[in-house]
Structure 1
């Protein structure tokens, strides 16, 4: 999962549905609380707003080709991106049934 501790983020599914994985922000922890991680379907034409610190990973496309619009502050990828591999750190994987 990834998070941005200084930046909000918005995703729009432009032409196909996608699945989004999100977990609650953990401001005093280095890793997400896996008990809070949930998946939901983001329908085409709709968006999702992620508050500062929200753990997330996306998209999991439901079609072969998907276009997304991603909005965040310039420089976020370079200066405010934290990625944690939960499989390596905690032996955790997620399975999504469609």
Structure 2
């Protein structure tokens, strides 16, 4: 349910600077345990939103590096690693 909530926020309130902290908090602190393989981790969705809507924010690159190294979910780590490779060319 949280993944849907942050997707709706991102869709209807694009590029709102005040929402960065909400997405950041979710990317770092959401401790969801996925019950089905079909569910998407809210941390991954939050990272995707931050990369897309806040690429120039001073905390975006450090967040991406942190999730690439430290996220407990392999899917989120791999996504962050792939995004880092794209950013670094």
Q: TM-score, normalised by structure 2?
A: 0.30
With CA pairs under 8 Å and 6+ residues apart, which has the higher RCO, 1 or 2?
A: 1
Q: TM-score, normalised by structure 1?
A: 0.28
